[in-house]
Amino acid sequence: MRYISTRGQAPALNFEEVVLTGLATDGGLYVPEQFPQMSKDDIAALAGLPYAEAAFRIMKPFVGDCIPEATFKKILQETYASFKHDAVAPLKQLDSNHFLLELFHGPTLAFKDVALQLLGRLLDHFLAKRGERGVIMGATSGDTGSAAIEGCKPCTHVDIYILHPHNRVSEVQRRQMTTVLAPNVHNIAVEGDFDDCQAMVKASFADQSFLKGQRLIAVNSINWARIMAQVVYYFTSAVAVGAPHREVAFSVPSANFGDVFAGYVAYKMGLPIKQLIVATNANDILHRTLNDNDFSKKPLQPTLAPSMDIVVSSNFERLLFDLYNQDGQAIADLLQKFNQEPTQIDASAWSKARELFDSFSLDDAGILKVIKDAYEHTGELLDPHTATAYLASQQLAKDASTPIISLATAHPAKFEEAVIKAGFKQGAALPESMSDLLERKESYKVLPADLQAIQDEVARQQLASRG
C-alpha cells in the first residue's frame, strides 16, 4: 500500500513512513492511493470474530508487508486487551432499530483510546526496529493528552511530553494524565493557557535542534494509523446488525472529522453504509459546509462538549481529496482560499458528498435536553458528545427500516458538569477500575510559559533517559 498527499506534491510513502510522519511536506495529509476492497463474503466472515482478529483482517491491506503478520497480530491482541469490555466496542440496543456503539471502554473512557492504544504500539515497533528513540510532544486542554499518555505508557522506545495549562483542566482530567507514573511519561503544567501550550509545541516541531537528533513525532488526529484503527468498529458493528445483507446508517459526534472519515473509508472499502450523519455542537463548520456549502471559519465557542470544540476540521481535507478525484492542486488552491475568506466546495463534489452525508448541529441547551430525554426514554445516561449523535439519529434517519448506530464517544462520568446541569443530582460514577483515581499519587512539573524553559526540560530529561 502506498500513501499519497492530499496536496499532490509530497513524495509517496509506505505505511511505516506514514505512521512516523505527521503532516506531508507540502502541508497535506496522507491517504491510501486506493482503498482496499472487502467483498460481501469477506465482510460476512467477520461475524462472531474476536475484535482483534476482525481488526487484523480489516487493517492488513493498509499495513501491507511493513509488519510481519504474526507480529501485527500480537500487537493487536495487546492493544485490545487494554479494554475493559470483552467485546471492546459493544453495541447496545436503544430502540427497535437504534443502537449505541460504546467506544469508551478503554483506559481513559473515550473513543480516542481505540486508536491511540494501537498507535503507541505501532510507533514502538517501528522505532525499535530502526534502533531509534522517538519523542512525542503534545498540548492538551484536557482529554486527548490522557489518551496519548495511556497509549505510550507501554512503549520502550517512545518518550512522551504533554503540556497542559496549569490549574485550567479539571481535577479528573489532570489526574488521568499525572497519575500515570511510567518513566517515559512526562507531564508539564504550563503557567499559561492552552494556546501558550500549543504554540510552544508548534515551535518545537518547527525547530527540533534542541533534541540533538532525536525524532519528534506527532500523534494528533491527522496520523493515518488513527483513522485506520477507527475503520474497524464500523465493520464490526454493522455486521452485528445485519451487514453485508442489510444496509446500515451511522451517526457520529464530530469535530476534526477523523472518526466519521473512518466511516467513509469503510464505505469505500465495500461496507453497505446508507447514510453517515455528521453531528456537531455549536462549533458547526462541518454542518454549515455539508448542509449549505458554506465552507468558512467561525470563532471558537466553548461548549459542554469540549472535545468537539474546533474551528477547522483538519481531516475534512481527506474527504475533499477523494471527492475531487485526487486532484491535489485543486485541494491546495481550495484550502488556500479557505484560509483567507469564506468559500464554497466545487458543486459536483458537494453533491457527491450529499449522497452519503447528512449533518446536524446542537447547542448546549439542546445537549442538556437530550441527556435528560434520552435517560427518560432509554435508561441510558449519555455524555454531552454522544448526545449530539443521538438526537441527530432521531431527526435525520432516512428510513425507519435501516438500523442506525449512534457512536458513544465518551463515558458520562467524564462530564459531570453537563450531567448535573441536565438535572441529575450527581454525575455518573467512574467505573470500578478508576474509582481510586482521586487518591492516586501524581507526578508533574510546573514550568513558566517560556519556550526555552520547556525545551531545556525536555532536553534534560532526554539526556537522562539516554543514560
Active site (catalytic) residues? 112
Q: Which is nearer to ligand PLP, 67 or 260 (CB)?
A: 260
Q: How far apart are CA 385 and CA 365, in angstroms?
A: 13
Q: Check binding of 409 to ligand PLP (CB under 6 A).
A: yes
347 three-state secondary structure: helix
Of the candidates 134, 151, 244, 258, which one interacts with ligand PLP according to CB under 6 A?
A: 258
Of the candidates 43, 110, 370, 454, which one interacts with ligand PLP according to CB under 6 A?
A: 110
Q: How far apart are CA 244 and CA 467, in angstroms?
A: 54
Q: CB of 114 within 8 A of CB of 197?
A: no
Pattern 44-63, ligand PLP, x by CB under 6 A: --------------------
Q: Which is nearer to ligand PLP, 257 or 390 (CB)?
A: 257
Q: Which is nearer to ligand PLP, 122 or 148 (CB)?
A: 148
Q: Check binding of 413 to ligand PLP (CB under 6 A).
A: no
Q: Count residues contacting ligand PLP (CB under 6 A)?
A: 17
Of the candidates 16, 113, 124, 143, which one interacts with ligand PLP according to CB under 6 A?
A: 143
Q: How far apart are CA 263 and CA 268, in angstroms?
A: 9
Q: Check binding of 221 to ligand PLP (CB under 6 A).
A: yes
Q: Which stretch binds ligand PLP (CB under 6 A): 65-73, 252-260, 351-359, 430-438?
A: 252-260
Q: Check binding of 256 to ligand PLP (CB under 6 A).
A: yes
Q: Check binding of 308 to ligand PLP (CB under 6 A).
A: yes
Q: First-to-last CA distance in the chain?
A: 38
Q: Check binding of 359 to ligand PLP (CB under 6 A).
A: no
Residue 13 per-residue DSSP state: B
Q: Check binding of 280 to ligand PLP (CB under 6 A).
A: no
Q: Which is nearer to ligand PLP, 334 or 382 (CB)?
A: 382
Q: Check binding of 385 to ligand PLP (CB under 6 A).
A: yes
Q: Check binding of 253 to ligand PLP (CB under 6 A).
A: yes
Q: How far apart are CA 360 and CA 372, in angstroms?
A: 19
Q: Which is nearer to ligand PLP, 404 or 407 (CB)?
A: 407
Q: Check binding of 236 to ligand PLP (CB under 6 A).
A: no
Q: How far apart are CA 51 and CA 376, in angstroms?
A: 32
* E strands in 79-208: 91-93, 98-102, 134-139, 158-165, 185-191
Q: How far apart are CA 307 and CA 329, in angstroms?
A: 32
Closest approach of ligand PLP to the CB of residue 214, in Å = 28
Q: CB of 235 within 8 A of CB of 266?
A: yes
Q: CB of 2 within 8 A of CB of 33?
A: yes
Q: Which stretch binds ligand PLP (CB under 6 A): 106-114, 195-203, 343-351, 421-429?
A: 106-114
Q: Check binding of 184 to ligand PLP (CB under 6 A).
A: no
Q: Check binding of 307 to ligand PLP (CB under 6 A).
A: yes
Q: How far apart are CA 10 and CA 13, in angstroms?
A: 9
Q: Check binding of 461 to ligand PLP (CB under 6 A).
A: no
Q: Where are the alpha helices (DSSP H) in 82-164?
A: 112-130, 143-152
What residues have CB less than 8 Å from 450, skipping those under 6 apart? Answer: none
Within 10 angstroms of residue 423's Cβ, the number of other Cβ atoms is 11
For cell 441527530, the residue is: 392
Closest approach of ligand PLP to the CB of residue 459, in Å = 31
Residues found near ligand PLP in the complex (CB under 6 A): 110-112, 143, 221, 253-259, 307-308, 385, 409-410
